[in-house]
Structure 1
Amino acid sequence: MKFLVLLLTFVLQRKLNLTLSRQHDQWARQFLEFFEAKFPVIRHNATLYVVIAILLPAVVLTLVLTLVDDVLFGVATLFVHIVMLFLCLGCGYLKQAVELYRTQWEAEHYQSAFRTLESADIFIKDADKLTPAEVHYQATSQYMYMTFQRYFMVIFWYMVAGPVGALVARLAHVAGCESTTYVPRQVGIVYKVLEWLPARLLALSFALVGNFGETIKSSLNYMIDPAVGALKVLQQAAAGAIESMPAVPAAGEANALRDSRQLVALRDLLNRSVMVWFSVIAILTIVGWMS
């Protein structure tokens, strides 16, 4: 059932360009801000912060799933799965924003392109101090990382642990990466643990649908190093899979046409990787390794 629910939700998300996941993240931030205001002690207690930010909503969702189990012959459970995936999966606004960014970049309207990124929640630190080439490198990296966070990571944890897994993946990201300045630094460790395996699997997907030899050569050492973060692993893998993709910030002036082609190549690489993931999940479902 999970594979069919995932496939249906993914298709609808892409077709309708829904932004429910963005709204979900805003609700999660407001939830955390409420507790931070009412109970300031959680700002300095990582364990309590994790309990409130991640475990409490997960427990509530688990109770809901238990209560609706077998209600209306499973229709109620199916409804909860679909709703949670709509809330956690995807970011419909990202596709249009990146395409607009690419168009503006081709026309060398760099300032307009930078503002377009911010509309898609892609914020580049100290962008005013960077060259356009350096900003573009950061933009493509953040686009890749955001796609990983909102699609591949949610897909992985949904197939492993159902809607509870998808919810935990998104809440951990909000708490560890997007929350207020009060969040204990240790909370980010939870998210790093959750993204470790999906990032390596996506890097391997890049190898399968891109330049296999170069991808493995450029990213293998990073993939097997438990201390390397997901973004660095994906950057190295993408640099191997796409010939024009640099592994480090580009030096010199921006090349609008080259940069645009690079972004298209990255988009296509991610799309092909999605197809690989769905194909593998379908095969595992058929052989009974996933339900």
Structure 2
Amino acid sequence: MIFLALVIALTLRQLWALDITVQRDGWWRDWRARAGDSGLRSWSQLLLVVGLPLLLALLVLDLLRPLLFGLPWIAAAAVLLLYALGREDLQALVARYSDYCERGNGEAAWLFAREELGLTVPAEEVSDTLDSEWLRQQVEARLCYASYQGWFAVVFYFVVLGPVAAVGYRLLQLYRDGGDAAQGPAARVLFWLDWVPVRLLLATFALAGDFVRSRDVLMSAATDTWAEPADLLWQVASAAESPVQEGTPLQQAAANARALAGLLHRCAVAWIVVIALVAILA
């Protein structure tokens, strides 16, 4: 049933526009605002804000499981997965960023990085022609992590622990990104939740890209216990994608961003194939 719900959700995601009704977060933000006025400690507030919706979802799924051969359960699981998937359209983000770079509009590329990807760029790193290697690396790292947390991690927890776990991962992401809780308990929980799926994706990068070039980087990153997931993902992805070194810095940035998007697409296909094989053989 899990695999069927996964196929339905991903198919609907491709057919519908990104801004679909089930991905509206207003209800949860209102609930978080009310819970924030309760005066609870950070961990208690996190448990209330994230845990209560998950408990309700779990109860609904348990009620639906025995009905009509599980068909209502499959439909509900697909809806929950749709909600849990990321809000970013990676292909659109890469296309916009690459277009700015190819047209030589370094200022627009920098504004895109600041406003769309949320980068805080130090003044000494800013250049009208995007000559800053630091900025290009940060953009690719953000794009890589956006794809990971919006798709790979969600699907991993959906398949391994079920739809409630996938929704829980999304709510933790929303909680962390919602303000001053960025360095709080949600960030710590997410760090450990990311530990296994990040390393699985690192291995997928190497297999779907340049394995020889990325092998040593993969081994070093996979054994780095305390590194941030976004840093690890970019390190291995940049090695696996064989960075382009021809043309102007802006042209290189555009080509590398597109190469990264291609690598992420190949990894997504590989994960779907593996999940399908496991579902068939199980």
What is the correspondence of 1:1-291 to structure 2 with a 5 Å cutoff? Answer: 1-20=1-20, 23-36=23-36, 38-39=37-38, 41-42=39-40, 45-91=41-87, 93-117=89-113, 120=116, 122-126=117-121, 128-131=123-126, 132=130, 133=132, 134-176=134-176, 178-181=177-180, 185-244=184-243, 255-288=249-282
Asked if the contact 1:214/1:240 (under 8 Å) is kept, the reply is: yes
Q: CA–CA distance in 2 between the matches of 1:173 and 1:280?
A: 26
Asked if the contact 2:114/2:121 (under 8 Å) is kept, the reply is: no
Normalising by structure 1, we get a TM-score of 0.86
Q: CA–CA distance in 2 between the matches of 1:161 and 1:19?
A: 26
Q: CA–CA distance in 1 between the matches of 2:182 and 2:219?
A: 33
1:169-197 deviations in Å (ceiling 9; x for gaps): 11111223x02215672331111111111
Distance 1:256-1:183 versus aligned 2 partners, 3 A rule:
closer
Distance 1:66-1:124 versus aligned 2 partners, 3 A rule:
same
Q: CA–CA distance in 1 between the matches of 2:47 and 2:148?
A: 25
Which amino acid in 1 is paired with 2:281? V
Name 1:249's counterpart in structure 2. none
1:205 aligned counterpart, secondary structure = helix
Which amino acid in 1 is paired with 2:237? A
Q: Deviation at 1:124?
A: 0.4
1:75 aligned counterpart, secondary structure = helix
Q: CA–CA distance in 2 between the matches of 1:103 and 1:185?
A: 37
Where does the alignment leave 5 or more consecutive residues of structure 2 unmatched?
none
Asked if the contact 1:22/1:91 (under 8 Å) is kept, the reply is: no
Asked if the contact 1:106/1:260 (under 8 Å) is kept, the reply is: yes
Asked if the contact 2:46/2:186 (under 8 Å) is kept, the reply is: yes
Asked if the contact 1:127/1:135 (under 8 Å) is kept, the reply is: no
Distance 1:197-1:166 versus aligned 2 partners, 3 A rule:
same
Q: CA–CA distance in 1 between the matches of 2:237 and 2:244?
A: 7
1:244 aligned counterpart, secondary structure = coil
Q: CA–CA distance in 1 between the matches of 2:27 and 2:72?
A: 23
Q: CA–CA distance in 2 between the matches of 1:180 and 1:28?
A: 14
Percent identity, aligned pairs only, is 25
Normalising by structure 2, we get a TM-score of 0.88
Which amino acid in 1 is paired with 2:109? A
1:165 aligned counterpart, secondary structure = helix
Which amino acid in 1 is paired with 2:268? V
Q: CA–CA distance in 2 between the matches of 1:15 and 1:113?
A: 29
Distance 1:208-1:70 versus aligned 2 partners, 3 A rule:
same
Which amino acid in 2 is paired with 1:286? I
Which amino acid in 1 is paired with 2:236? A
Distance 1:183-1:52 versus aligned 2 partners, 3 A rule:
farther
Count of matched residue positions in the alignment of Structure 1 and Structure 2: 276
Q: CA–CA distance in 2 between the matches of 1:190 and 1:182?
A: 12
Cα RMSD for the two superposed structures: 2.4
Which amino acid in 2 is paired with 1:175? Y
Q: Deviation at 1:77?
A: 0.9
1:258-278 deviations in Å (ceiling 9; x for gaps): 111111110000000001111
Q: Deviation at 1:144?
A: 0.7
